[in-house]
Amino acid sequence: MKPVIYGLSGLTLTPEERSFFGEADPAGYILFKRNIADRAQVRALTDNLRALSGRNDLPILIDQEGGRVARMGPPEWPAFPAGPAFDALYETAPISAIEAARANAQAIALMLAEVGITVDCLPLLDVSQPDTTEAISTRALGSEPMRVAAMGRAIIEGLRDGGVVGVVKHMPGHGRAKVDTHYHLPTVTASDAELEIDLAPFKALAGAPMGMTSHIIFQAWDPERPATLSPIVIEDVIRRRIGFDGLLMTDDIDMKALTGSAGDKAAGAIAAGCDLVLDCWGRMDEMEDIAERLGEISATSLGRLERAMATIVGTQPRGEMADLIAKRDALLALV
């Protein structure tokens, strides 16, 4: 098995993809809007991916946060609110906000599980600042670390109850980035002491099954390399200081915050200590380059992957989507 999660080009596997994936045996896959039409199509696609891999616990990922980041949406599926809606409720009714976040995540998970998606890249544990890039601020759970942690924990629990594994992101924190990593490489100049605020939610949820890195330079820790490619940030900050021993994947290595070939970036991330590389765009030349540069997944990383997926394998998703959405909406109406 290669330590990589690949994207796909379209609604079905092409013959070329089927051949390549069968040989490369990636750890998992991630779906985007280009891969999604309706329930029957998505279920057929995920069933085909499982059959190709021969693994019932195959991680099939999606970014289904709500708001601006939603790969599945109307009219086939309902729209979901983003993090700031729950943060606003927390101002007046903290317990209600936590329960609304939990119900919302469980409803999302039921929607995903129905079509065979097993991992949702949620929750964001990034602590917002006044100048946080809009790419994060419009999605984040707020600017108070323990509030972010409380709602983040509820989201992970809600996803699990609905049959889906959650991913905490973007470690060790994206809230101080002033530019969007899809297009630029941010440099954070905050001191080590100041960055304790950013680490706090991740420390509180250090037992999460999966996590995702950020493509950000933190001058206090490693002024030369973004977190995704920094053994200092991954080993000293994420693994030791935060205490995270779950499966750690990169954010999409195709983002413009990183430079170099796909193979170079993938090999660098694994060498730095990431367990898996996330390569989202389904470009065959880049996927082949990555496969050529990466060896087999390490025993340690495979163990983390298996432990993460074991949190949902063999469990029955609980709840009714309509009831959970109604509960969420009643709570959000308290604002």
pLDDT at residue 29, as a whole number: 98
Query: Is the Cβ–Cβ distance between 66 and 80 less than 8 Å?
Result: yes
- CA–CA distance, 120 with 290 (Å, rounded to integer): 23
Which pLDDT value is given to residue 60? 98
pLDDT band at residue 315 under the 50/70/90 scheme: confident
Question: What string of H, E and C letters represents the secondary structure of 120-185?
Answer: ECCCECCCCCCCCCHHHHCCCCCCCHHHHHHHHHHHHHHHHHCCCEEEEEEECCCCCCCCCCCCCC
Which CATH number do you get for residue 302? Answer: 3.20.20.300
pLDDT at 258 over 90: yes
Cα distance between residue 255 and residue 184, in whole Å: 8
The confidence score (pLDDT) of residue 283 equals 96
Please give the pLDDT value at position 20: 98
Token pair 């891969």: residue: 35
> Does 184 sit behind a cis peptide bond, omega within 30 degrees of 0 on the bond before it?
no
Residue 314: predicted pLDDT: 84
How much is the average pLDDT of 269-279? 98
287: pLDDT confidence band, cut at 50, 70 and 90? very high
Per-residue model confidence (pLDDT) at position 107: 98
Q: Is the pLDDT of residue 120 over 90?
A: yes
Is the predicted pLDDT of residue 68 greater than 90, yes or no? yes
Note the Cα 163 to chain centre separation in Å: 16
The one-letter amino acid code at 287 reads M
Q: What is the pLDDT of residue 313?
A: 87
- The catalytic residues are 182, 251
What's the mean per-residue pLDDT of the chain?
97
Q: What is the mean pLDDT of residues 200-212?
A: 98
Mean pLDDT for 228-238 is 98
Query: DSSP characters for 217-270?
Result: EETTTBSSS-GGG-HIIIIIIIIIII---SEEEPSPTTSTTS-S-HHHHHHHHH
How does residue 312 score in pLDDT terms, banded at 50, 70 and 90?
A: very high
pTM of the model: 0.97
Query: What's the token pair of residue 30?
Result: 């991630």
pLDDT value at 158 more than 90: yes
What is the domain extent for residue 191? 2-332
| pLDDT at site 263 | 97
| Cα–Cα dist 261/266, whole Å | 9
The count of structural domains within the chain is: 1
